[in-house]
Amino acid sequence: MQEVNTLIETGKLTDPQSPRGRILWKAAHLFKEKGFERTTMRDLASEVGIQSGSIFHHFKTKQDILKEIMQEAIIYNLAIMRASLNNASSTEDKLRALILCELKSVNGVTTEAMSVLVYEWRSLSKDNQKDILSLREEYEAIWMEVIEAGIKEGWISNDAFILRRLLTGAISWTVSWFKSGGEMDLGQLADEVLLLVRG
Amino acid sequence: MQEVNTLIETGKLTDPQSPRGRILWKAAHLFKEKGFERTTMRDLASEVGIQSGSIFHHFKTKQDILKEIMQEAIIYNLAIMRASLNNASSTEDKLRALILCELKSVNGVTTEAMSVLVYEWRSLSKDNQKDILSLREEYEAIWMEVIEAGIKEGWISNDAFILRRLLTGAISWTVSWFKSGGEMDLGQLADEVLLLVRG
DNA sequence: CCATACCAAGCAAGCGCTTGGTTTGTAAAG
DNA sequence: CTTTACAAACCAAGCGCTTGCTTGGTATGG
């Protein structure tokens, strides 16, 4: 988690303890729980413990909050992913690392921000979608590299693009059923997903 | 499609040509496109070509429209699924049939209703969720039966519950990227999913 | 004649956001 | 130390608009 502090200090991530940060993560929580549209600024304000108007001292619009959440979710996960890849040697290890990272993103501490990113995409205005998309492409490029290596090595038989998309769905959907603290942990779940790919 | 007419005649499905039916399917279309919350009764009314107040002659509340769409989506797909299973002999054929059915549900003629069912679930009131859930269990039981047969036969290595859930995510997510009429058709996509399971 | 399907108008509530002013933490000036 | 200065954080009130839904009435086909 060293990288995270660096990201906060360099201003790429908002400090969760700042007033702005508290609004941001409560918003992520509510957006995940009730959806963007169903969450009102008054809901958010009372969750933070301030008046609804006060939010607009920190963010220009409700849209801006959504965009900021998504942006920071990607930046955070991009950092974690790259760090995690450095500890993997074989292609299979790398793929497992990516799977685990995404599972952690979706089910771990950033679960709110990440599921907002996945499931509230169309609530984002077209302009904002464009801005976020470039960050997202960077993220996807890493995945594709590893998958294509697996295909060359011969132990992946699916089409690379299709596989990535099927995996995106399978992994992000876990947020709706996986409960940590149960019989299965995220490591085992990653193994199941890897088993699916490898057969 | 013989079964569908029977379903309409017995009153289990609403006739798409009736006033009520026209509202229902236009609503499904809009709910999929813009989401439940972002779709207003005025949007829906102007799509159908009537005044917004007139909708309430056919449905008591906006919630009721959502519930009805989901209910009919399941009833429809349950019928299609059972018919499709009858034409499959081996367990692998059956699994492929289920995959294809769900892909068709999500990307075919019922695409709107089905993605509403998957992605607008939490817009449904708690009471309505309970009502729909019993229908959904019936649907899931069919899946589990086939998957467990595949495990017994030895060509599925995943845990049955986990596999079903991963597949649910993978398949339903296709709605966000698969475009029919492109290079790949739903049959080929079903093969890719089956390949994923079988390895 | 009467049920079905609809319209025109509008109500009450809730929405995102604005406004004008007050508190609070901080830090230099006296 | 105290005083002054000032920006950041916040409150109280409410504006303008949209929302789901209601109401009272009208047209139409069997």
Tens digits of residue pLDDT in A73-86: 999 889 999 999 99
A37 and chain B: CB distance < 8 Å anywhere?
yes
Residue A66's CB is within 10 A of a number of other CB atoms, namely 25
Q: Which residue ranges of chain B lie beneath pLDDT 50? A: none
Asked if B61 CB < 7 A from strand D, the reply is: yes
Considering only CA atoms, name the residue closest to the C1' of nucleotide D8. Answer: A57
Task: Say how far residue B81 (Cα) sits from the centre of its chain.
Answer: 11
B77 close to B101: Cβ distance less than 8 angstroms = yes
B9 and chain A: CB distance < 8 Å anywhere?
no
A35 and chain B: CB distance < 8 Å anywhere?
yes
Q: How far is A177 from chain B (nearest CA, A)?
A: 8
pLDDT of residue A85: 95
Q: Which residues contact B103 (CB under 8 A, 6 or more apart)?
A: B171, B174, B186, B189, B190, B193
Q: Which residues contact A144 (CB under 8 A, 6 or more apart)?
A: A160, A161, A164
- Using CA atoms, how far residue A170 sits from A199, B2, B68, B120, B166, in Å, is 16, 33, 27, 18, 4
Asked if A67 CB < 7 A from strand C, the reply is: no
pLDDT of residue B3: 65
- Residue with token string 């890897």: A194
- Rounded-to-integer distance, Cα A153 and Cα A123, Å: 40
Q: What confidence tens digit (pLDDT) does each residue in B84-111 have? A: 999 999 999 999 999 999 999 888 767 8
- Using CA atoms, how far residue A141 sits from A73, A103, A113, B100, in Å, is 17, 18, 21, 29
pLDDT of residue A112: 86
Nucleotides of C under 7 A from a protein CB: 4-10, 14-20
Q: Which residue ranges of chain A lie beneath pLDDT 70? A: 1-4, 8-11
Of B38, B173, B192, the CB nearest to A159: B192
pLDDT of residue A3: 65
Q: Which residues contact A81 (CB under 8 A, 6 or more apart)?
A: A97, A98, A101, A139, A142
Q: Is A139 exposed, middle or buried (0-12, 13-18, 19+ CB in 10 A)?
A: middle
- Rounded-to-integer distance, Cα A174 and Cα A129, Å: 24
- Residue with token string 């093969």: B191
pLDDT of residue B43: 96
Phi, psi of A60 (to 5 degrees): -70, -45
- Using CA atoms, how far residue A16 sits from A8, A20, A22, A44, B199, in Å, is 9, 8, 5, 15, 43
A185 close to A196: Cβ distance less than 8 angstroms = no
Is the pTM higher than 0.75?
yes
For helices B2-9 and B62-86, angle between their N-to-C axes, nearest 10 degrees:
140
pLDDT of residue B134: 87
User: Please, which contacts does B43-50 make with residues 24 or more away whose CB atoms are closer than 8 Å?
Assistant: B48/B22, B48/B23
For residue A31 the two structure tokens come to: 């957006």
pLDDT of residue B2: 63
